[in-house]
Structure 1
Amino acid sequence: MQQVFILGVNFSEQKLVSKALQSFYALGPRACERIMAKYTIYRLAKVGSLAPKTVTSLTAELSQMTLDSDARKIMQDNIRRLKDIGSLRGRRHAMGMPVRGQRTRTQTATAKKLNRLDRRN
């Protein structure tokens, strides 16, 4: 089976373009729809059906965006900033509790799982 390289990551030809784009951190469904509409890619198109010119233009488009490790670093810096200024959101992040007003009497398992970002500081 052939592989298609998009931004240094190889995808199988059978993978949907929308799922391949969403595999990059900080690219959600809406951003993927916009990118696919910009290059007139059908929503159920597979990566293997893309023209080489389209693949290179997609790679160029994605290389200009803030993705993966850069986006994670920005998010960690934002959380660290909230902790440093001592805001309520920063303290909630540090304690591993829900940050945006969710109930805490029950159902905090998801927040505790998701708020495990860089607890050493």
Structure 2
Amino acid sequence: MARIFGIEIPNEKRIEASLRYIYGIGPTTASRILDQAGIDPNLRTGQLSEDQLVKIGTVIQGEGIIIEGDLRREKQSQLKRLTSINCVRGIRHKRGLPVRGQRTRTNARTRKGKRKTVGVKK
């Protein structure tokens, strides 16, 4: 398997699809990286030479694309900031409820988790 920034990407897939295995790189970013590196997106990852992999790495660094650990840390710090200032979004994150205005009366099971039945006590 080929390695870029310590992340193993699959050899049998096209390089455009393989780059998406890196956290923070999606389809648009992957195609932009390959355009700037001058690499055919239809090539398989296993067919790339070592200098082509290095070229992809330099393009990622040169563009200032935040990936993997740095991106995870940045997202975590943004969530901490929201919860520390006690804004509505931060409170919703703390309680595990939907953040962006979705209804919670019937749906929202992904955020709320499994139903907890409340019994009536006599």
Q: TM-score range by the shorter chain?
A: 0.7 to 0.9
Number of matched residues? 111
Aligned residue for 1:10, secondary structure, equals strand
Tell me if the contact between 2:11 and 2:46 (Cα under 8 Å) persists in the aligned partners.
Answer: yes
Aligned residue for 1:82, secondary structure, equals helix
C-alpha deviations, 1:62-81, integer Å up to 9, x for none? 34532111111110100110
Residue 31 of structure 1, CA deviation: 1.0
TM-score by length of structure 2 reads 0.77
Residue 112 of structure 1, CA deviation: 4.2
Partner of 1:103: 103
Structure number with the bigger relative contact order (C-alpha 8 A, sep ≥ 6) is: 1
C-alpha deviations, 1:46-77, integer Å up to 9, x for none? 10122322111112233453211111111010
* Structure ID, larger Rg: 2
Q: What is the root-mean-square deviation in Å for CA atoms of aligned residues?
A: 2.0
Which of 2, 17, 32 in structure 2 is aligned with 1:19?
Answer: 17
C-alpha distance in 1 between matches for 2:30 and 2:82: 30
Give the share of equivalent positions with the same residue, in percent.
Answer: 31
Tell me if the contact between 2:98 and 2:111 (Cα under 8 Å) persists in the aligned partners.
Answer: yes
Partner of 1:37: 35
Q: Could you list the runs of 5+ residues in structure 2 that have no partner in the other structure? A: 114-122
Aligned residue for 1:43, secondary structure, equals coil
Partner of 1:76: 76
